[in-house]
Amino acid sequence: MKGITRISLFAMTLLFPSLILGLCTSLSSSFPGKVLFPSDSGYNDSISSYFFLNQQQNPTCIVAPSDANEVAEIVRSVVSHGPGSQKVAIRSGGHSPNRGFSNANHGVTIDLRGLDKIEMHEFNAGIVSVGTGALWIDVSDFLDPLNRTAVGSRVASVGIGGFITGEGGISFFSPRYGFSCDNVQNMQVVLANGTTINANATSNPRLFRALKGGQNNFGIVTRFDIKTYPQPGFWGGAIQYPESSDVAQLSAFRGFKQGPYDPFSEIEQTFVYFGSQKTFSSTNNLFYSKPGVNESNLRPFIDIQPQISNTIRISQPSDFALELEKFQPTDSFSTWATISFPISGNILSKVHSKWKSATSALASSHPNITAVLTFQSIPPPPTADSPPNSMPFTSSSTPHKDLVLTLLTFYWTEEKESQSMNSGVIKLAQSLQVLTGNNTRFEYLNYAGGWQDPIGGYGTATREELRQVAKLYDPSGFFQKSVNGGFKLY
């Protein structure tokens, strides 16, 4: 009997490609004009539109729904085809560097970019309804003329869906308003059984919490209803400095973290190595969102000299987001990793020194890499009277004051370098965890490498709650077993 089972499983693996092709053929029949095969002219355009080369894989087909009803029908079709054909990836913006998180090699990629409608909520003033396939630059372009803003991505091309569900999202305005997910009032969700429901503080509240940091483990969010806030033009921009300013930079960031907290101040301090130029430098992206401008706690960064360039000005979110987009290397392979640690003593200098040493070592065998080390703050958690998220901070904790959120980003251009680059970055991240004492288990999911365990950092009780929610809303485990990518619960 066991032999028959093994033979059956082996036979099933041989059938998988034909089963997936059969599913794609069925989807093409049900959704004419909305399914792309490798022979179709739009297929390569879709594959090449991912931000990182890591995601440029070869799905058997790409299906592009236009609304939530079509998403529900597609999910029902996929599930009904049974095991073997259920190799699926879900794409919103396609900005993650983790391979397979938003594209299914030899599977079915559900491309949600057609769900990009944006409108002010008809019955609830100040709420903007955003389709999960929109980009944050689309939201800014929509809200800027109204002198309003949403707590969204600082980089123009980032998509809505993964940004919000992948642990909340950090914004220009997060020091004041928290994570992006904490400003969502409602999510429209397609479940594994093909039904569409709303999740909010009063309807499906456990699912609502789980989706704020639980990523793609529960359903496909097709629309977000998001709070907006009045926001005229505000102060901000980028200042680039030479390597000689590193000591002053680290001192200024330590003072910023240990000084009085100002909810209008937001900074990303970034150290960069450009392999093409064989140079280290740094850049501070600085923002002060209070009208009238009082950037006093950012003054130490502004005063650092010499400066290579300075774009500080009064402008709007869309303009700042497009500027930050320019700093992102394109047509590259990339890997990310993240750690968080308490601000204390000279810990910033130790982390910076180890990153610089490891970068130089990697550059000796990968001469054209770009390496980035970024320090920033974690947003404040929801207040006691607000709907909770899945993250491990209570209303009484102060991660925004105490912790440094650290992002390691490496870019390279040749796929043959990927294995050794990934290994080197993992080794660096693990050594930094040891260096910083690993006292803070928090790994920000939107920055986490595929090998990390950010959901484990939520704590045992929260992880178990997320598992129970997943089993409640997806009892067959479709999103655990059949949907590629993300950090799974079981």
Q: How many CB atoms lie within 10 A of CB 335?
A: 25
* Token duo for residue 47: 């594959």
Name the percent of the chain lying above pLDDT 90: 87
Q: 3-state class of 393 per DSSP? A: coil
* Token duo for residue 416: 């043959």
Count of alpha carbons within 13 angstroms of residue 99, beta-carbon side: 15
404-424 average pLDDT score: 96
> What is the predicted pLDDT for the residue at 82?
77
What is the residue type of 119? E
* Token duo for residue 9: 């499983």
Q: How many CB atoms lie within 10 A of CB 122?
A: 8
Q: Are 186 and 164 in contact (CB under 8 A)?
A: no
> Residues 437-482: pLDDT tens digits?
877 789 999 999 999 999 999 999 999 999 999 999 999 999 999 9
* Token duo for residue 394: 């209570």
410-424 average pLDDT score: 96
> Residues 31-80: pLDDT tens digits?
999 999 999 999 999 999 999 998 889 999 999 999 999 999 999 999 99
Statement: residue 240 has pLDDT above 70: yes
202-222 average pLDDT score: 96
**For residues 195 and 189, what is the distance between their CA atoms, to the nearest angstrom?**
8
421-448 average pLDDT score: 93
Q: Return the sign of the alpha-carbon dihedral for residues 432, 285, 97, 276.
A: negative
**For residues 135 and 116, what is the distance between their CA atoms, to the nearest angstrom?**
8
> What is the predicted pLDDT for the residue at 194?
96
Q: How many CB atoms lie within 10 A of CB 121?
A: 15
Cα 42 from chain centre: 26
For residue 306, is the peptide bond before it cis, meaning its omega torsion is within 30 degrees of 0? yes
* Token duo for residue 207: 């699912």
Q: Are 192 and 453 in contact (CB under 8 A)?
A: no
> Residues 110-159: pLDDT tens digits?
999 999 999 998 667 899 999 999 999 999 999 999 999 999 999 999 99
* Opening angle at CA 178, ends 167 and 137, nearest 5: 75
**For residues 317 and 327, what is the distance between their CA atoms, to the nearest angstrom?**
16
